[in-house]
Amino acid sequence: MSGHSPVNTVLVTGAAGFIGSHLCDKLARVGKAVIGVDNFDPYYARIEKEHNVECLRRAGADFRESDIRSYGDIASLIDVTRPEVVVHLAAKPGVRNSVKFPRQYFETNLLGTQNVLDSCRALGVERMVLASTSSVYGNTKRIPFEEDDPCVEPLHPYAASKRSTELLAGTYARLYGLQISVMRFFTVYGERGRPDMMPRLLLNSLTTGAPVNLYEGPLERDWTHVSDIVRGLAAAVDRPLGFEILNLGRGQPVPLSGFISELERVSGKQANLVSAPRPDSEMLSTYASTDKLNRLLGYQPEVSIQEGVEALWEWWQAYTARDR
């Protein structure tokens, strides 16, 4: 069940997003037929996502606009395209936004995932890779985070919605024989990152002087470059494991202050940081145990913080130059 089993056709939900567009790009460039789908959720500007779609199309991936909140839409798309694997990345993002609008997160993240699972079950797609998050661990006392942690105290509705999708996926795997690899992402950063995420806020501050809230901590994160996340996802696409939950991170947490210092070093500029109290929804630390990931997928992260930050700054300079 855990042998290498390459596939030819992959459907990726959330394809216009940060991670989704990078994954479509990678899978298409290694010769897979890739169908990306996204509904352009207005959480952030559509123009950002349209740029991502341009990138994946240049790599040779197809793209369709559709909404996982509609069972009919996603079932029809799977019926037409007949993928061998569905990589389900589509989700409503944003920790603090989920505290304000929790219903939206369960409608998209949980019920949307059920639509994808039901479509796969009805149409004979037996394999799925499902995106989850390190946020499900909450303020666990088990450090580093290990996949068998019960994860019963999420700190915000986003994490609760993603933990719910994990449980639902496990139920479908046991009842209906689906093979699902759940990948818990750890603090992803890199080129084309979302504008609301800390790396983009810092980049904007470095170039414009805009203030950025720096929460009282100290905070540390298991910063993982998007290329390493994508390599892990691609490995999961080609290796069915039954039902497994895997941490996908570097396994080397770095203080937020250290990440900021590295960005300031690379850019030669200083961010405008404003001290702010830490919200109850904010985790103090994320730290992935990657032993299981290495054992089952043979995965090791490749991009150091220094290399990742340098690539991020190089991209940002090119990105902002487009508007000049």
The arithmetic mean of pLDDT across residues 224-246, rounded, is 97
- Alpha carbon 32 to its chain centroid, in Å, reads 21
Closest CA to 93 of 168, 171, 38: 38
Average pLDDT along the chain: 96
Domains of the chain: 9-189+224-250+285-302 (3.40.50.720)
Q: What is the pLDDT of residue 294?
A: 97
pTM for this one?
A: 0.96
User: What confidence tier does 4 reach under pLDDT thresholds 50, 70, 90?
Assistant: confident
Query: What are the pLDDT digits (tens) for 34-86?
Result: 999 999 999 999 999 999 999 999 999 999 999 999 999 999 999 999 999 99
Phi, psi torsion values for 188, nearest 5 degrees: -80, 135
Catalytic residues: 158
User: What confidence tier does 239 reach under pLDDT thresholds 50, 70, 90?
Assistant: very high
Q: What is the pLDDT of residue 322?
A: 78
Separation of alpha carbons 2 and 171, rounded Å: 20
The arithmetic mean of pLDDT across residues 14-32, rounded, is 98
Query: What are the pLDDT digits (tens) for 262-297?
Result: 999 999 999 999 999 999 999 999 999 999 999 999
pLDDT for 1 beyond 70: no
pLDDT for 200 beyond 60: yes
User: What confidence tier does 324 reach under pLDDT thresholds 50, 70, 90?
Assistant: low
pLDDT for 2 beyond 80: no
